[in-house]
Every structure is written in structure tokens, then in C-alpha cells.
């Protein structure tokens, strides 16, 4: 069956007309899917009974409930969703006062192979369709509480840019969820072909996984550096307007003695000069089953020093509070552990 979740208004209008429904039925379908989150055609009562029967025969709404859930002591929740052919992905719900953020996956596994990331060890098992991405947003129990979406789960979003942009269109279009684009952030390791399209075709925020300002050192952590150096990523970002509502930030996992020194801080200042941005320092989460003896997290005092050093010299820097580590839901820890 053809899945309707993730289809644009124009595509829904075409599908409606293909089964003999009027063109305006496509807009009705969009409203039922994206605003009312209807999981069955039976409830779409402003569409004729015959039309609903034809829809049910040919199409699937695309909504799938998570098959497993874990709850952290800090209130973070992790969900497991079936996707593709026998594959799974995880997404993470993070409540924080009057904000509620969902971290969604865009690929099953990941092909980027970052040394510090547990997800990368899963290997790559396929791109998610826009329907799979949006289903993570719509099908969690707390969907109505969401205020922000971050594309920071499994996979490299800019390596699946067509489906990521399609899902963002649904979230932000007036016929879809009508969210402000500034409620959406996409993370990237700096995969330049997809990143450029994302910057050109959306108005959402971007977060770049940086982790080291030096080419040789970053390449040891992130193979993408060998193909798309961070200097090229920064050059691209500097071509865009970051003075207004759209925001660029840099994610920076701190490794003790390896990227948290004065030398690294000064290099960051040089690299990011003249680019309005912020840096988020992140605690390293060790893989409990496969610890890397060469990678140890920075201590709190050193992270605080780096935060203050960079902030005092013009780049607003914060230390991100770690959430959900006890259920393997923190940054870089999504390995579909709920499947076992």
C-alpha cells in the first residue's frame, strides 16, 4: 500500500484525484493527517463514504506506534520505532520546563563512522522516508506537548536530505503543522552537498558537529573531515545571514587533554571569527560495552574553564546538560537497545 504520511499538499491532491475525489479532498487529507493526526480513514467524515473506502483500499495513513519505551530518572523518554524492512530506530523525548523537545532519527544506523559515537558502530541500514521521520513526531504519547524538534538522532540528516526537507516542509507549511521553522534544528557533521541544500531550501536552525578545530585531529575522530574539511563548512556558513532569527550553533564533545586545551580554544576563536554563532560543550558518554581507552571525557572544571574562556572572548558558550544517559538516550548513545 502507498503511505500518505509525508506527502505534500500537491501530492495529496494528485492522489485524491487519482481515485475520483475532487482536488480539494487533498487539502482535507492534509488536515486530517497533519493537524488532526487521524490514524484511520474511517474518521475522515468530510470525505464521502465511497472515497474513504477507496482510500482504505489503496493507501495507508502511515502512523505506527512505538513498540518499546524507556524512561530515565530525569524524565527523558526513549522510544523504539519499526522502519524499513525489519529495521528499527530510536527517538528521544526531552521535557524541560515549558519546553519539550523530540530528537528524531533520519537513517537506520549511520555511515559517517565518527569514533566517539555509539550509533556509528551499528553500521548503515538505510535512509528513512519522510513518513518514518514524521511518524516519530506524531506517534509518541506526548506529541501534543512538543515545542521543538531536533534532527539529532540516528544518522546524518544531510546525507538523506530529500526526505529530511520533505518532513520539514510538512512540519512548517501552512497546510501541514504550521510550525515556525525556528522550532526546528538539523544537526550535521558537515556533509557539504546536503548541508548546502538544507541551508538554501529551509529557514530552520543548524547545528554543526565540530569537536576539534584542527584538520588532522578532527579527521581522527570524524572521517568526514577527510572529504569535507571543517574549514570548507565554515566558509559555506559564512555566506548566509545569521544576524536575525535563524541560528547556527556548534556541538563540541569535550575529551580530556585532547580538545579542551588553550590551544584548541584559541583555534576555535580563529576558526569561527566573524560568524555569529554559539558553542554547546557536551559531556562525552563512554560506550559501556566498548570503551575507547584513548577517549576520556573532560572533567567539569576544565569544561567550565573552556566555557568561560570562549564566552569572554566573544563566542557565547554553554555546557549542555546531559539527559537520559541511564537509558542510553544521551548524545551518541542511540543503538536501538530497546530492541533487545
The number of beta carbons lying within 10 Å of the beta carbon of residue 23 is 11
Distance, CA of 81 to CA of 51 (rounded, Å): 30
The number of beta carbons lying within 10 Å of the beta carbon of residue 329 is 29
Q: Which residues contact 103 (CB under 8 A, 6 or more apart)?
A: 91, 92, 93, 94, 150, 151, 152, 153
Backbone angle region of 226, left / alpha / beta, with phi > 0 → left and psi within -120 to 50 → alpha: alpha
**Helix (H, G, I), strand (E, B), or coil: what is residue 99?**
strand
Cα Dmax for the chain? 70
* Residues annotated as catalytic (active site), given as ranges: 90, 331
Per DSSP, helices labelled H in 87-214 are 130-138, 161-172, 192-201
Distance, CA of 135 to CA of 65 (rounded, Å): 8
Q: Which residues contact 254 (CB under 8 A, 6 or more apart)?
A: 260, 281, 282, 283, 284, 297, 298, 302, 303, 306
The number of beta carbons lying within 10 Å of the beta carbon of residue 185 is 20
Amino acid at each position: 500500500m502507498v503511505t500518505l504520511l509525508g506527502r505534500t499538499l500537491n501530492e495529496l491532491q494528485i492522489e485524491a484525484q487519482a481515485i475520483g475525489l475532487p482536488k480539494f479532498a487533498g487539502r482535507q487529507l492534509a488536515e486530517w493527517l497533519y493537524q488532526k493526526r487521524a490514524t484511520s480513514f474511517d474518521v475522515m467524515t468530510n470525505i464521502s463514504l465511497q472515497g474513504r473506502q477507496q482510500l482504505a483500499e489503496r493507501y495507508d495513513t502511515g502512523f505506527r506506534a512505538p513498540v518499546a519505551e524507556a524512561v530515565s530518572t530525569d524524565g527523558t523518554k526513549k522510544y523504539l520505532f519499526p522502519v524499513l524492512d525489519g529495521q528499527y530506530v530510536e527517538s528521544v523525548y526531552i521535557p524541560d520546563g515549558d519546553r519539550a523537545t523530540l530528537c528524531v532519527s533520519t537513517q537506520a544506523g549511520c555511515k559517517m563512522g565518527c569514533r566517539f559515537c555509539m550509533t556509528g558502530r551499528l553500521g548503515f541500514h538505510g535512509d528513512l522516508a519522510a513518513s518514518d521521520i514524521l511518524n516519530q513526531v506524531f506517534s509518541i504519547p506526548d506529541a501534543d506537548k512538543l515545542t521543538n524538534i531536533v534532527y539529532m538522532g540516528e544518522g546524518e540528516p544531510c546525507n538523506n536530505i530529500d526526505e529530511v526537507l520533505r518532513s520539514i516542509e510538512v512540519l512548517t507549511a501552512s497546510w501541514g503543522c504550521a510550525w515556525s521553522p525556528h522550532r526546528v534544528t538539523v544537526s550535521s557533521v558537515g556533509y557539504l552537498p546536503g548541508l548546502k541544500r538544507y541551508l538554501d531550501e529551509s529557514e530552520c536552525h543548524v547545528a554543526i558537529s565540530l569537536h576539534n578545530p584542527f584538520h588532522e585531529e578532527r579527521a581522527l575522530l570524524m572521517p568526514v573531515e577527510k572529504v569535507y574539511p571543517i574549514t570548507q563548512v565554515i566558509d559555506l556558513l559564512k555566506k548566509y545571514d545569521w544576524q536575525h532569527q535563524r541560528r547556527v550553533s556548534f556541538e563540541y564533545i569535550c575529551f580530556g587533554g585532547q580538545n579542551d586545551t588553550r590551544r584548541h580554544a584559541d583555534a576555535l576563536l580563529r576558526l569561527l571569527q566573524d560568524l555569529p554563532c554559539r558553542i554547546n560543550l557536551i559531556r562525552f558518554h563512554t560506550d559501556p560495552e566498548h570503551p575507547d581507552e584513548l577517549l576520556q571525557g573532560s572533567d567539569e572544571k576544565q569544561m567550565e574553564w573552556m566555557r568561560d574562556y570562549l564566552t569572554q572572548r566573544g563566542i557565547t558558550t554553554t555546557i549542555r546538560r546531559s539527559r537520559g544517559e541511564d537509558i542510553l538516550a544521551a548524545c551518541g548513545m542511540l543503538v536501538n537497545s530497546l530492541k533487545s
